[in-house]
Structure 1
Amino acid sequence: MRVWAVANQKGGVGKTTTSIALAGLLAEAGKRVVVVDLDPHGSMTSYFGYDPDTLEHSNYDLFLHKGQVPEGMPAQLLLATSNERISLLPSSTALATLERQSPGQSGLGLVIARALAQLWQDYDYAIIDSPPLLGVLMVNALAASQQLVIPVQTEHLAVKGLERMVNTLAMINRSRKQELPYSIVPTLFDRRTQASMSTLRVLRDLYPETIWQGYIPVDTRLRDASRAGLAPSQFDPKSRGVVAYRALLKHLLSRQLAPQVA
């Protein structure tokens, strides 16, 4: 299994759409994918028609065992989605309480890595949708992943948020055994606006080595796919957004590292 995290410390940049779009394209290519919703808001969980406020079980259950994960638990929590090759490890609003519980508990930063280790042979890819703030959940996402995708909205305030995310990643890398490679992905790009055009230039100037040279355009078909509960490539495989995500996936696959040992 290869594990990718999608994260940014700024909200509204397209993390959930990016996670599901990539999962859908991998599934289309015949891969088995598990998507992990680590955002207490549960956008990914809601995308696939589940209510994070009322689910009896969720990935919150994984954190209730002092950093350990009981054998077989991750598989019991998986939910079906609109794509038979994509399974969901759902979120719960209870995840928001973890920060208050985490002081004094060792091992909480590795819960998701331990959970995915139990699913290693069952899936080809795991894609983690991370919350937009630094805390135990984002630490879990980064600790479990082999490659990081950082969506960045092409507007001026997003550049500052990206700077914080890159600094966070540098901090996380100091505690990892190996550096986590990442790709910056410009999103919500609108070539009709000066803000999008100038922000894209700034991003390319500041991060020439790590930015993907393409961009994800504003595309109402992505929103329509969300409303239908379908991965964008299922909903409209020829839309501008899906064409862009196909190019992004090709880029990410070209940068893939050898799989880690679970």
Structure 2
Amino acid sequence: MRANQQQIEPAESSATKISRQSQLLSAQLQSIRERLYEPEAAKTLKTFTSREVATLLGIAESTLRQMSLDGESAIPDRQDNGRRIYTLSQVNQIREHLARKRPSEALEFFPRRRDGEKLQVITVANFKGGSAKTTTTVHLAHYLAIQGLRVLAIDLDPQASLSAMFGYQPEFDVDENETVYAAIRYDDRRRPVQEVIRKTYFAGIDLIPANLELMEYEHETPQAIAEGYGRGDGIFFRRLSAVISEVEADYDVVLIDAPPQLGYLTLGALCAATALLITIHPAMIDVASMNQFLAMMSDLMGVIEERGGTLSHDFIRYVITRHNPNDGPQVNVVTLLRSLFKEDVLAPAVVETTAIASAGLEKKSLYELSRGSVGRDTLSRALESADSVNREILLHIKDVWGR
């Protein structure tokens, strides 16, 4: 054997290689984050101009100005140029003030649910990637909060994209037993759901974040069923609904970003829901995938009902996302869906736009973008599209409330 013959290194196993690459990427992401944000920095919500606030409240800008001069309700800050700016918390204070001052219009100014009106739990679902499930959830959450509603967003997806949109990076900001898994797990480490709810920078929105530990629920549930967790609120498909009921009084709407597969977590989200939003990108391959999703969901719902589960939703709507109205095949798909599902397809669609892509890169929704970040016309068209979709969903919520 030659002395200078190189010793052959043992091949790196796939598990070791993937683990090493994960650690490299995680360290790089943290480095990028520290360069972009100061160590203690947190996301903040933009302020609103007098004109924007007046439009939101449906009052004249002169009325808002006079309220400020008279010292009524919230007093805005002033920019160097003298313009008044309001935080969303201040906008909500003005809503409350106007609701008291004009009781006949109270529900228009301050649309929070009243006694006797049912908490709306909306699950956003699909297991096809690219259907804009998380984007739909975060835009709806932001829109509802801007309208004055109290929203609890539950990230049920172990990939935690929704959490990241609210400024929480799962591997750094969400520790063990700090997801909804902590409230629905089967052992003695279970925690009250109130302990895992976090306030966010966005006034009116609280969040239960996610990370990979949610997968533990998928692994543990079969064993739990075998051990007798099969009755009452203890059964897997009622556990999420039970913990939501513990904080029912604190919110008007709960939004659940479901995982992209039909596991135990998704089934729990379907059973907890009072309404379903199914996102769909109007391409034939996506529609075919959604068809499989619907068939599997139907079968599993049947099994749940046989086990005593009740699946009754106030509304089920399909949300057309990333729609290009100038794309002939997409238009044909949308026409097909509307002919089959009628009014169950939301009338407006979310158009495909660079504004949403640009916002996503900054982990923001369209409602957080400043006017200078993308072209004014581009942002206006994108906001008009998102507003139309979210406004129709809010109308469905109000209809359930008997408004």
TM (norm. structure 1) is 0.88
CA distance in structure 2 between the partners assigned to 1:67 and 1:147 by the alignment = 32
Q: Letter of the aligned partner of 1:167 in structure 2?
A: A
1:224 aligns with 2:358: yes
Alignment of 1:81-96 (within 5 A): 81-96=200-215
1:66, distance to aligned residue in structure 2 (A): 5.2
* Residue number among 244, 247, 250 corresponding to 1:122 in the alignment: 250
SS in structure 2 of the partner of residue 131 of structure 1: coil
Structure 1's unaligned 5+ residue stretches are: none
CA distance in structure 1 between the partners assigned to 2:210 and 2:324 by the alignment = 31
1:195, distance to aligned residue in structure 2 (A): 3.0
1:207 aligns with 2:341: yes
Q: Letter of the aligned partner of 1:89 in structure 2?
A: I
1:37 aligns with 2:155: yes
Partner of 1:184: 318
CA distance in structure 2 between the partners assigned to 1:121 and 1:68 by the alignment = 25
Partner of 1:251: 392
Contact residue 149 and residue 204 of structure 2 kept, 8 A:
yes
Higher helix share: 2
CA RMSD of aligned residues (A): 2.3
4+ runs deviating over 6 angstroms: none
Deviations 1:180-238 (A, max 9, x none): 23101111111232332222122222322421122110122223333334332232695
Using CA pairs under 8 Å that are at least 6 residues apart, name the structure with larger relative contact order, 1 or 2.
1
Q: Structure 1 residues 169, 246: CA separation in 2 closer, same or farther (over 3 Å shift)?
A: farther
SS in structure 2 of the partner of residue 31 of structure 1: coil
Q: Letter of the aligned partner of 2:238 in structure 1?
A: L
Partner of 2:282: 154
Contact residue 271 and residue 310 of structure 2 kept, 8 A:
no
Contact residue 142 and residue 172 of structure 1 kept, 8 A:
no
1:135 aligns with 2:263: yes
Moved more, 240-249 or 210-219: 240-249
Partner of 1:22: 140
* Residue number among 166, 175, 188 corresponding to 1:48 in the alignment: 166
* Residue number among 31, 35, 58 corresponding to 2:179 in the alignment: 58
CA distance in structure 2 between the partners assigned to 1:162 and 1:227 by the alignment = 27
CA distance in structure 2 between the partners assigned to 1:168 and 1:2 by the alignment = 25
CA distance in structure 1 between the partners assigned to 2:139 and 2:265 by the alignment = 22
Q: Structure 1 residues 78, 231: CA separation in 2 closer, same or farther (over 3 Å shift)?
A: farther
1:173, distance to aligned residue in structure 2 (A): 4.7
Q: Structure 1 residues 189, 121: CA separation in 2 closer, same or farther (over 3 Å shift)?
A: same
Structure 2's unaligned 5+ residue stretches are: 1-118, 230-234, 372-378
SS in structure 1 of the partner of residue 170 of structure 2: coil
Moved more, 122-131 or 90-99: 90-99
Contact residue 173 and residue 179 of structure 1 kept, 8 A:
no
CA distance in structure 2 between the partners assigned to 1:207 and 1:38 by the alignment = 27
Q: Structure 1 residues 128, 162: CA separation in 2 closer, same or farther (over 3 Å shift)?
A: same
Contact residue 262 and residue 297 of structure 2 kept, 8 A:
no
Partner of 1:109: 237
Q: Structure 1 residues 198, 20: CA separation in 2 closer, same or farther (over 3 Å shift)?
A: same
Q: Letter of the aligned partner of 1:196 in structure 2?
A: Q
TM (norm. structure 2) is 0.59
Aligned residues: 257
SS in structure 2 of the partner of residue 84 of structure 1: coil
